[in-house]
Amino acid sequence: QTIMTADFTIKVGDFEGPFEMLLFLIEKHKLHISQVSLAKVADDYIVYLQKLADKPMAEMANFILVASTLMLIKSLSLLPGLTISPEESESIGDLERRLKHYQRIKDLTPWLKNNFGTRLIFERQISNNRPVVFTPSPEIKTPSLFLAIRGVMAELPKLEKIPAAIIKKVISLEEVMTDLAKRVAQQMSFRFKDYVKENKHEKVNVIVSFLGILELFKQGLVEVRQNSHFEDIDIENRQSGVPHY
């Protein structure tokens, strides 16, 4: 089974993890690892992910986690005024760092393969005639040993109770598109801000709602207008015939 994209074909099952797939997409587009490149390959990543819907959830967990971060990055590129939490900002930075580390390891793999097992370091030859004895330093005394052991014990990680994770249901893109299509058919036109207030969406659902509007616009079902940056978005039925001034 394969996935056809605008520029290349990806074989499903060729990637051992999300970072290998992301790096493949970025290199195919001849981009450097950055938020801009991650935003550009987000769509291709989601297309690939949809083809793996029949895979066990345990195998897909890391792919889905990376996909959520990619959607956040793409939303930031489409909505410059969108504010995110420190945790969300850290997740974006963490994805960039881990992907760069993965690329570094991948680049070193051929060298490691060629040099593994060779004697790169030559140890000093031990004389068999010299007896092995334990000769501690005169500075090692009972008080210094006690302080050293206490220092090591202080550095040991402490057991911490991990809070239970709370999973919140996130509205799907299909649900948003269906709701928006009904709304525009009934009211002919409305504003995005009013739609968000009425439905009491959380931040992640606001992003999904925005992506739903873009998809309906791409399908030619609605007209979208924004007079200037950061102003409200007007959505109307393409068949309504509402005059534009």
Stretch among 5-9, 107-111, 211-215, 227-231 having the lowest mean pLDDT: 5-9
Residue 52 or 187, more confident: 187
Better pLDDT: 37 or 177: 177
pLDDT of the residue at 7: 40
Q: Is the pLDDT of residue 10 over 50?
A: no
| Partner residues linked to 222 by β-bridges | 237
User: H helices within 51-126, ranges in order?
Assistant: 57-78, 86-115
The ranges assigned to domains in the chain are: 2-87, 173-237
pLDDT number for residue 166: 66
| 173-237: CATH architecture | Orthogonal Bundle (1.10)
Share of the chain above pLDDT 90, in %: 0
All residues at 6 or more sequence positions from 9 whose CB lies less than 8 Å from its CB, including other chains: 2, 3
Task: For residue 105, give the nearest of 17, 12, 28 by alpha carbon.
Answer: 17
The C-alpha atoms of residue 37 and residue 123 are separated, in whole angstroms, by 46
The alpha carbon of 23 is separated from its chain's Cα centroid by a whole number of angstroms, namely 12
pLDDT at 198: 67
> How confident is the model at residue 15, as a pLDDT?
61
Query: Which of the four pLDDT bands, split at 50, 70 and 90, describes residue 16?
Result: low
Query: What average pLDDT is seen over the chain?
Result: 76
Percent pLDDT > 70 in the chain is 80
Q: Taking 50 as the threshold, does the pLDDT of residue 9 lie above it?
A: no
- Amino acid 170: pLDDT: 66
Q: What is the pLDDT at residue 244?
A: 47
Dig out the tokens for 126 from the structure.
């031990």
**Per-residue pLDDT averaged across 211-237, rounded?**
83
Query: Could you report the per-residue pLDDT of 94-151, keeping only the tens digit for each?
Result: 888 888 888 888 888 888 777 776 665 666 666 667 777 777 788 788 888 888 888 8
The residue count for the chain: 245
Report pLDDT for 2: 40
Higher pLDDT, 245 or 170: 170
**The amino acid at 211:** L
pLDDT digits (tens, 9 = 90+) for 164-201: 766 666 677 788 888 888 888 888 788 888 777 766 55
The predicted structure's pLDDT at residue 208: 81
Tell me what pLDDT residue 123 has.
63
> Residues 72, 91: contact at Cβ < 8 Å?
yes
Convert the pLDDT of each residue in 78-92 to its tens digit.
777 778 788 888 888
β-strand 222-225 against 2-4: which pairing, if any?
Answer: unpaired
